Amino acid sequence: MRSLRSICFYLLVATAAAAQPTIVSLSSTTISHSDRLLIRGSGFGPRQGSGRVEIAGVVAPLTRWSDTLIAAYVPEGAPTGAAQVQVHAADGTASNPALLNVTLRPVPQGRILWRFHADADYIDSRPAVADDGTIYTIDVAGHLYALAPDGGLKWIFNATSYGFGNVSLGSDGTIYIGSTTAIFALRPDGILRWQFTQDPGAFILLGPNVGPDGNIYAVGTQGMGVFSLTPQGTLRWSVPENYDRPIVILQEIVFGTAAQSSLYFHANNHLRGIGLDGSEIFTRPEGLSTLQGDPQPAVSPNGTLYTNMFSARGSGLALGAFDKQGNLLGSIFDNFGNSTNILSTPDVGRDGIIYDGRNLAELYAIRPKGTVKWQYIDTGILFAPVVSPLNNVIFVGGIVTYGQPGFFEAIRVVNGHSLGKVFLPAENGGRVIPMSRPRFAPDGQTVYIGTSIPGQSQDNPYSYLYSVSTKLAQH
């Protein structure tokens, strides 16, 4: 009997020892505030639960937790210099301490003010900027990051599910994000206000976006359809929206100019306008392969709707202009001397000038009546032009060519002259390239843009959100 008790005792001791969290290695021994730290080891536990990571005694924000790997971020409040990293498992046991040297965040380098290290392959959703300057960005894995204007990390919210859409802000500072199964509303401090479960779940989610009336709008393709929620998370209405090719996996819903107007989206082989009360305004067949251009619509200050389109029986690839009822007012690029093979993403300035990229290297400024104001031809490939709220500069991402370095470029609104490029580095076995549509800060002095690193090593995938100064446009 004594031998049996001894064996059981030793087994219990061995089991406890095996469960002891142990840090084996850190991804770096020197790291700055708000940067990502990968902690590898064993015995952390399969789920975080009440577990935490402390760096210099300060609890660190996390994106991932598994029994052998944790992705944490160095808190802004951690003191610089030598620090201990320690994992506290959900059962209260603490790991061995690992030594880390904490530094200040890097100083700005030229036009690059800062870049934030996201814990996923890419950031394809456009960032959002709050009235207080806080920047919100969500990566493809559903990690929502709140960043101070100087690039310091405030908090992280890890959304569940997959197929994440846009980040949109309410007038009270509420942050809205969504997946194919849920819409989430968060307070400015990162605490979840409510979660609305889509039933049935969507095949693809477009949006969510806050409308001019303060309600939230989204398109749950092959799920709830087009639907609207109150700021409290109550369903207002829904109308069917079935999937059709060509596929569109990400899009911002845009709105007409009056509070009681309509929402627009271009997906599922049609351009659709719906009243903010859920009433049908128009559905117009307008398909566009993403190999030919981005179907993202844009609305001008006078309410004209613009979107790239393709008509197999008509003009071919063109930028279409539509009124509020979906009637075609005219088209651009389909009457040029040479053929249009691909378009970028339209945007409209506060003066009604439309900007769109054509045939990879060309950027056009188009007057509301359809005439060309200016044309800029680049030596590289340009992505998604966006005009500043100051209406003085267009910001674009680009690549030298496929497989080559990425860059950012600013172009003057007045004459289409380039203000120069900022080239992006090669990292992790690939090259950093622009991915999301840019987002300007309200003062027009700074722009934020998400990136990807195609072909990078998949044992450590990551991407960046960049903050770029556009003050040079003032000179």
pLDDT tens readout for residues 21-47: 999 999 999 999 999 999 999 999 999
Can you say how many angstroms the Cα of residue 78 is from the centroid of all Cα atoms in its chain?
Answer: 28
Distance CA 284, CA 272 (A): 6
Distance CA 150, CA 133 (A): 9
Cβ contact 229:219 at 8 Å = no
Sign of CA dihedral 248, 249, 250, 254: positive
- Convert 166-230 into a string of H (helix), E (strand) and C (coil): CCEECCCCCEEEECCCEEEEECCCCCEEEEEECCCCCCEEEEEEECCCCCEEEEEECCCEEEEEC
Rounded to an integer, the average pLDDT of 449-465 is 91
Q: Where are the beta strands (DSSP E) in 286-405?
A: 298-299, 305-311, 316-322, 328-332, 347-348, 354-358, 362-366, 372-377, 381-387, 393-399
Between these two residues, 41 and 16, which has the higher pLDDT value? 41
| pLDDT score of 336 | 84
- pTM for this prediction: 0.94
Give pLDDT tens digits for 238-275.
999 999 999 999 999 999 988 778 999 999 999 999 99
Question: Is 214's pLDDT higher than 90?
Answer: yes
Question: Between the CA atoms of 381, 383, 387 and 392, what dihedral angle is there, to the nearest 10 degrees?
Answer: -20
147-151: long-range contacts (C-beta < 8 A, 24 or more apart)? 147/34, 147/116, 147/465, 149/441, 149/446, 150/105, 150/113, 150/114, 151/34, 151/105, 151/113, 151/114, 151/115, 151/116, 151/467
| pLDDT score of 407 | 96
Closest CA to 105 of 40, 148, 150, 71: 150
**Average confidence score pLDDT of the chain:** 92
Cβ contact 206:251 at 8 Å = yes
Cβ contact 62:49 at 8 Å = no
pLDDT bin (cut points 50, 70, 90) of residue 289 is confident
CATH 2.60.40.10 placement within the chain = 18-103
Cβ contact 167:151 at 8 Å = no
Percent of the chain with pLDDT over 70: 94
Can you say how many angstroms the Cα of residue 342 is from the centroid of all Cα atoms in its chain?
Answer: 23
Closest CA to 51 of 90, 105, 7, 13: 90
| CA-to-CA separations, 148 to 56, 134, 143, 151, in angstroms, rounded | 22, 5, 16, 5
pLDDT bin (cut points 50, 70, 90) of residue 16 is very low
| pLDDT score of 219 | 98
Give pLDDT tens digits for 130-177.
999 999 999 999 999 999 999 999 999 999 899 999 999 999 999 999
Question: Is 368's pLDDT higher than 70?
Answer: yes
Can you say how many angstroms the Cα of residue 29 is from the centroid of all Cα atoms in its chain?
Answer: 29
Question: Is 62's pLDDT higher than 50?
Answer: yes
| pLDDT score of 17 | 46
Cβ contact 470:445 at 8 Å = yes
Question: Is 325's pLDDT higher than 60?
Answer: yes
Amino acid at 75: P
Question: Is 337's pLDDT higher than 50?
Answer: yes
Give pLDDT tens digits for 389-442.
999 999 999 999 988 899 999 999 999 999 999 999 999 888 999 999 999 999
Distance CA 67, CA 65 (A): 7
- What fold, for 18-103? Immunoglobulin-like (2.60.40)
| pLDDT score of 180 | 97
Question: Coil, strand, or helix at residue 1?
Answer: coil
Give pLDDT tens digits for 182-202.
999 999 999 999 999 999 999
| CA-to-CA separations, 150 to 93, 153, 287, in angstroms, rounded | 36, 9, 41
Q: Give the end-to-end CA distance of the chain in Å, rounded to a whole number.
A: 89
Question: Which residue in the block uniquely carries the two structure tokens 């409308």?
Answer: 211
Cβ contact 1:9 at 8 Å = no
* Strand pairing category for 433-434 and 439-440: unpaired
CATH 2.130.10.10 placement within the chain = 345-475
Question: Which residue in the block uniquely carries the two structure tokens 């989610």?
Answer: 205
Give pLDDT tens digits for 93-131.
999 999 999 999 999 989 999 999 999 999 999 999 999
Cβ contact 376:355 at 8 Å = no
Question: Coil, strand, or helix at residue 319?
Answer: strand
Give yes or no for a cis peptide into 208 (omega within 30° of 0). Answer: yes
Give pLDDT tens digits for 4-14.
455 444 434 44
Options 2.130.10.10, 2.40.110.10, 3.40.470.10, 3.40.50.1820; CATH for 345-475 is: 2.130.10.10
| pLDDT score of 3 | 52
Sign of CA dihedral 197, 199, 203, 207: negative
Percent of the chain with pLDDT over 90: 84
pLDDT bin (cut points 50, 70, 90) of residue 382 is very high
Cβ contact 386:394 at 8 Å = yes
Question: Is 15's pLDDT higher than 70?
Answer: no
| pLDDT score of 315 | 61
Question: Is 360's pLDDT higher than 60?
Answer: yes
Question: Is 361's pLDDT higher than 90?
Answer: yes
